[in-house]
Amino acid sequence: MEFIFSFDQLLKRVEERTRIGTILILSPDLKPDKNKKKWRYFGLASGLIVLYSVLLLLYIGSWLYLVLVNVQLTEIFAIVLTLLISFLPIMVILLLFIRYTFRLYPYSYNGIYSLTYPIISEEFQIWIFETQHSRKTVEEYIIPYLRGEIEKKNENPILTFVRKLLPSFMTYSKTVRLKQLEQVIYGYLIDADSPKDPLTFPPRKSRGRY
């Protein structure tokens, strides 16, 4: 059906705009001044990682390995533990870069979820404005179709538990995007009950607005 095809196009736009790489690197929604600040963060993080990597190869790695061997650890265990400990500073630098880049966006107070929600909401509003689908179409066709997509991508309970232990940006999956879109649609249906016309959304805005 035509509305399913157009809805799939919406899903593709949502996925493209909410990818971690899009938000952190391409950043089309950031204003030029904030984008420059992001690249300064990126340059600082890259410089620190390169400097640490050189020191790791020349001094830190061998010193740490000798320390672990001297506390009577087996050679294999000492190597594995050396690698794990050695990469911790790199992970800290990356996490700080991600954290400060997220803060450049106005809706990042709750991590990736609060950052992507307004983006998804905007894309849905634009889609409704452009397609002029009725509330009945959304209720009877779009929502069941979306629920079916979510059911297809339901994850193993063990993976769901593991995701709760990791930072939000590492657990932001396609399923989460679909569930956020579902919340946006229910919000739209609630607004449709108000006297305001739900189909009078503004046209697509230019990028670089945050």
The two tokens of residue 74 are 């087996």
Q: Quick check: 181 and 120 in contact, CB under 8 A?
A: yes
Would you say residue 163 has pLDDT above 70? no
CA distance 94 to 47: 12
Is 165 domain-assigned?
A: yes
- 79 and 19 part of one domain: no
Helical segments of the chain, H only: 2-18, 20-21, 32-55, 61-70, 75-102, 112-131, 135-137, 143-152, 157-165, 174-192
Which of 43, 69, 104 is at the close of a domain? 104
Q: What tens digit of pLDDT does each residue of 73-98 get?
A: 666 776 777 777 788 899 999 999 99
| Residues of the domain holding 52 | 30-104
Is 206 domain-assigned?
A: no
CA distance 156 to 196: 42
- 121 and 134 part of one domain: yes
Is 175 domain-assigned?
A: yes
Q: Which residues contact 19 (CB under 8 A, 6 or more apart)?
A: none
Q: What tens digit of pLDDT does each residue of 115-147 get?
A: 889 899 999 999 999 888 888 888 888 899 999
Answering whether pTM is above 0.75, one says no
Number of domains in the chain: 2
- 63 and 134 part of one domain: no
How far, in whole angstroms, is CA 13 from its chain's centroid? 14
- 2 and 71 part of one domain: no
- 75 and 147 part of one domain: no
Which of 77, 104, 131 is at the close of a domain? 104
Of 192, 154, 146, 197, whose CA–CA distance to 175 is shortest? Answer: 154
- 45 and 6 part of one domain: no
Q: What tens digit of pLDDT does each residue of 32-70 get?
A: 999 999 999 999 999 999 998 888 777 776 777 676 666
Q: Quick check: 163 and 171 in contact, CB under 8 A?
A: yes
- 188 and 123 part of one domain: yes
Mean of pLDDT over the chain? 80
